[in-house]
């Protein structure tokens, strides 16, 4: 179920990159970093401001909602500060869109496993789940989008 959701998200992000350009994806990637820091600093107060329930999934949903609100605000700020860059055409544009979309998905996955409450909402194999839960997986997923942004903004 969630594997299909990840693939659908990837397709939507690729289409968004072609439709709105790379600038939107740059802003999405950049917005995840301050959002994670702000969310992590709010963690001690989250039980007071989120709807508490007995189930871990409801706690996850309420904290995910807080994360999305913070993300939306940070995204609006980064979008205003970033330059508007259109999508390139052809195979190079498709590769750009694919790399940026995979970067966003890696960020979402690492935030799900390391920032938001730990619940197993993805139906991933044990090896892939262990990779995302590991310190190395977290480091790779956090650094990969930065490397992609550096590579894409360097070549113009």
77-117 per-position pLDDT tens digit? 787 766 655 566 788 888 888 888 898 888 888 888 877 76
Question: How many C-alpha atoms does 14 have within 13 Å on its Cβ side?
Answer: 16
pTM over 0.85: no
Q: Which residues make Cβ contacts (< 8 Å) with residue 41, sequence separation at least 6?
A: none
Q: Which residues make Cβ contacts (< 8 Å) with residue 10, sequence separation at least 6?
A: 101, 102, 105
What is the average per-residue pLDDT within 1-19? 79
Helix (H) or strand (E) holding 98: helix 90-114
Does 49 have pLDDT greater than 70? no
Question: 1 near 123, Cβ under 8 Å?
Answer: yes
> What pLDDT was estimated at residue 51?
62
Q: Which domain holds residue 119?
A: 2-155
Domain count, the chain: 1
């Amino acid at each position: 179920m969630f594997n299909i959701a990840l693939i659908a998200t990837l397709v939507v992000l690729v289409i968004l990159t072609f439709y709105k350009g790379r600038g939107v994806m740059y802003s999405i990637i950049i917005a995840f970093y301050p959002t994670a820091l702000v969310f992590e600093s709010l963690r001690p107060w989250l039980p007071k401001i989120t709807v508490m329930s007995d189930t871990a999934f409801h706690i996850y949903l309420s904290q995910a909602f807080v994360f999305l609100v913070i993300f939306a605000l940070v995204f609006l700020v980064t979008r205003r500060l970033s330059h508007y860059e259109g999508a390139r055409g052809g195979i190079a544009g498709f590769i750009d869109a694919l790399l940026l979309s995979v970067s966003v998905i890696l960020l979402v996955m690492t935030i799900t496993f390391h920032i938001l409450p730990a619940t197993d909402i993805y139906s991933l194999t044990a090896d892939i789940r262990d990779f995302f839960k590991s310190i190395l997986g977290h480091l790779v997923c956090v650094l990969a989008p930065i490397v992609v942004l550096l590579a894409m903004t360097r070549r113009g």
